[in-house]
Amino acid sequence: MKYNITNKNLAPEGKKRIEWAETKMPVLRLIRKRFKKNKPLRNRRIGCCLHVTTETANLMRTLKAGGAQVFLTASNPLSTQDDVAAALATDDIRIFARNGESRREYYGNMAAVLKGKPEVLIDDGADLISTAHKKRVSGVIGGTEETTTGVIRLKQMEHNKVLQFPIIAVNDSLTKHLFDNRYGTGQSTIDGILRATNMLISGCNFVVAGYGWCGRGLAMRAKGMGAQVIVTEVDPVKALEARMDGYSVMPMTEAAKIGDVFVTVTGDINVITKKHMLKMKNGAIIANSGHFDVEIDKPGLRKITRKKRTIRNSCDEYQLKNEKKIYMLAEGRLVNLAAAEGHPAMVMDMSFANQALAVEYLFNNCNLQNQIYNLPQRLDQEIARLKLKSMGIKIDRLTQEQRRYLSSWKMGT
Ligand SMILES: NC(=O)c1ccc[n+]([C@@H]2O[C@H](COP(=O)([O-])OP(=O)(O)OC[C@H]3O[C@@H](n4cnc5c(N)ncnc54)[C@H](O)[C@@H]3O)[C@@H](O)[C@H]2O)c1
């Protein structure tokens, strides 16, 4: 089977949107140009598990331009843009992804990618890499991981000494998480909430669970739109940082009583439980922008629900047994991808430049151990340099004197 998509007639629409994203991805365009000329991935097979968006399509085309045969499946059952999937299928990318696919189909599509005997795996959340380990797939020389949750899972595999090949933690590049997790998630999560509800952010109590990179970005954007932001945390340093950044900080049991909107971005499980939901105000909105749909206790919600209906796209109304109504967006899955289009291309430009360079690095460095590595700092810096250049921004350079000063201990008061 070459592909499993919803409707190949959607391809023309997908192609136009991919083209639009491309105009906002100058760093990836430069990499693609070099790949096209030098073919560093000639005859290589790459298996990918990523959100099937217009930005991902541009990464797929870049890998293909480098000479690779590319297999792609979705990293979330609700995030696939079917028109993009159709466009990629006509572009000879072996794609297996349909929006709304069942869990069974999700893993079936993953198996189809692994059947292509990929040598490098590009993952987002570590489902593909962990499946390859469970199925004892051979011939993989390395993998890359896009997101915080995936890196945490893979570090655990490294710790348990079960990792069978080296991994580049793309998420941990500065040009990835400082921008994608913060500004990308910040903006696109608000976008998802707005598309699903059309609510006014201004004046509402907006609860952000988790003040990591995604939480910081989200809190900043909600505040910028006039919300009263409340942060919940488990890490005292992050909680203190949130307070000093100007937000209220309290436990979820307290926030539950006063919040109008709740968004989880922790990468943790059961951050909003039924105990919290029972305390919420009538009309409260709950959403998740962390990687998996485990941050809101969905089975718990079902237990306390009398009646459920879909009231708008990506917005389900739950009438609780205590007579209050609460609204869950995008079935508790990544709200920015399921209810909106995910991160803007401008930011995915850097994330996917990291991915493309990480894949090239893995093929060029066959002596790596079965460990988690960061992309070398010089490549991270180069991506930032190219991004600045594309934005027409120049910066200062260290003088010889400054270089000497900064590398010496002798000069003091
Ligand atoms: N929506 C997207 O497109 C997108 C983009 C990037 C990352 N992510 C995902 O978002 C999640 C967060 O990523 P990050 O980079 O911000 O991680 P991070 O590690 O920087 O931050 C997570 C924060 O959550 C806090 N936390 C953990 N358990 C908590 C709990 N029970 N209550 C309150 N706070 C808790 C941690 O202390 C930490 O400060 C991950 O699952 C990541 O994979 C999503």
Task: Encode the chain (413 residues) as per-residue pLDDT tens digits.
Answer: 789 999 999 999 999 999 999 999 999 999 999 999 999 999 999 999 999 999 999 999 999 999 999 999 999 999 999 999 999 999 999 999 999 999 999 999 999 999 999 999 999 999 999 999 999 999 999 999 999 999 999 999 999 999 999 999 999 999 999 999 999 999 999 999 999 999 999 999 999 999 999 999 999 999 999 999 999 999 999 999 999 999 999 999 999 999 999 999 999 999 999 999 999 999 999 999 999 999 999 999 999 999 999 999 999 999 999 999 999 999 999 999 999 999 999 999 999 999 999 999 999 999 999 999 999 999 999 999 999 999 999 999 999 999 999 999 998 98
- Same domain for 131 and 247, yes or no, is no
DSSP state of 334: B
- Same domain for 83 and 210, yes or no, is no
Give the sign of the dihedral formed by CA 169, CA 174, CA 176, CA 182: positive
- Same domain for 137 and 245, yes or no, is no
Q: In testing the pocket of ligand 1, which one of 272, 291, 333, 336 has its CB within 8 Å of the most ligand atoms?
A: 291
- Same domain for 273 and 157, yes or no, is no
For 339-407, what is the HEC assignment?
CCCCCCHHHHHHHHHHHHHHHHHHHHCCCCCCCEECCCHHHHHHHHHHHHHHCCCCCCCCCHHHHHHHC
128 closest CA partner among 112, 148, 152: 112
- Same domain for 168 and 247, yes or no, is no
323 CA → ligand 1 middle, Å = 32
186 CA → ligand 1 middle, Å = 12
Task: Please tell me whether 399 is known to bind a ligand.
Answer: no
211 CA → ligand 1 middle, Å = 7
> Would you say residue 268 lies in a domain?
yes
> Would you say residue 397 lies in a domain?
no
Task: Please tell me whether 233 is known to bind a ligand.
Answer: yes
What is the domain extent for residue 131? 8-176+343-390
> Would you say residue 398 lies in a domain?
no
- Same domain for 326 and 366, yes or no, is no
Nearest C-alpha to atom 38 of ligand 1 is from which residue? 212
Atom of ligand 1 nearest to the CA of 337: 3
DSSP state of 39: -
pLDDT of residue 384: 98
345 CA → ligand 1 middle, Å = 21
- Same domain for 262 and 296, yes or no, is yes
Task: Please tell me whether 226 is known to bind a ligand.
Answer: no
Task: Please tell me whether 342 is known to bind a ligand.
Answer: no
> Would you say residue 408 lies in a domain?
no
- Same domain for 252 and 284, yes or no, is yes
Map residue 48 onto helix, strand or coil.
strand
Pocket of ligand 1 (CB under 6 A): 147-149, 177, 181, 185, 209-215, 232-235, 238, 265-268, 271, 289-291, 334, 336
> Considering 338, 353, 368, which residue would you say is the last residue of a domain?
338
Residue 263 makes CB contacts below 8 A (sequence gap 6+) with 189, 193, 206, 207, 208, 209, 218, 286, 287, 288, 289, 335
Residue 374, both tokens: 């960061």
Q: 285: which strand partners?
A: 261, 327
Contact 336, 343 (CB under 8 A): yes
Contact 179, 350 (CB under 8 A): yes
Distance separating alpha carbons of residues 303 and 274, to the nearest angstrom: 8
Residue 213 makes CB contacts below 8 A (sequence gap 6+) with 148, 177, 178, 181, 182, 185
Atom of ligand 1 nearest to the CA of 51: 3
62 CA → ligand 1 middle, Å = 29
pLDDT of residue 1: 76
Task: Read off the CATH number of the domain in which 223 is found.
Answer: 3.40.50.720
Residue 56, both tokens: 């991902």
Q: Which amino acid is at 19?
A: E
Task: Please tell me whether 413 is known to bind a ligand.
Answer: no
Q: In testing the pocket of ligand 1, which one of 123, 148, 270, 271 has its CB within 8 Å of the most ligand atoms?
A: 148
Atom of ligand 1 nearest to the CA of 215: 16
- Same domain for 243 and 146, yes or no, is no
Distance separating alpha carbons of residues 76 and 98, to the nearest angstrom: 10
Task: Please tell me whether 148 is known to bind a ligand.
Answer: yes
Note the helical H segments in 39-162: 54-65, 82-90, 103-115, 127-134, 148-159
Distance separating alpha carbons of residues 233 and 180, to the nearest angstrom: 21
Residue 227, both tokens: 């919300």
> Would you say residue 385 lies in a domain?
yes
pLDDT of residue 2: 85
Atom of ligand 1 nearest to the CA of 177: 15
> Would you say residue 46 lies in a domain?
yes
Task: Please tell me whether 212 is known to bind a ligand.
Answer: yes
Nearest C-alpha to atom 17 of ligand 1 is from which residue? 212
- Same domain for 159 and 205, yes or no, is no
Distance separating alpha carbons of residues 32 and 361, to the nearest angstrom: 15
Contact 243, 216 (CB under 8 A): no
- Same domain for 33 and 166, yes or no, is yes
Distance separating alpha carbons of residues 18 and 316, to the nearest angstrom: 30
> Would you say residue 70 lies in a domain?
yes
Task: Read off the CATH number of the domain in which 55 is found.
Answer: 3.40.50.1480
Task: Please tell me whether 290 is known to bind a ligand.
Answer: yes
Q: In testing the pocket of ligand 1, which one of 265, 275, 351 has its CB within 8 Å of the most ligand atoms?
A: 265
147 CA → ligand 1 middle, Å = 10
168 CA → ligand 1 middle, Å = 20
Task: Please tell me whether 8 is known to bind a ligand.
Answer: no
Domain count for the chain, please give it.
Answer: 2
201 closest CA partner among 231, 185, 223, 218: 223
DSSP readout, 243-310?
Answer: HHTT-EE--HHHHHHH-SEEEE-SS-S-SB-HHHHHHSPTTEEEEE-SSSTTSB-HHHHHHTEEEEEE
> Would you say residue 412 lies in a domain?
no
- Same domain for 317 and 187, yes or no, is yes
Distance separating alpha carbons of residues 57 and 65, to the nearest angstrom: 12
Atom of ligand 1 nearest to the CA of 268: 28
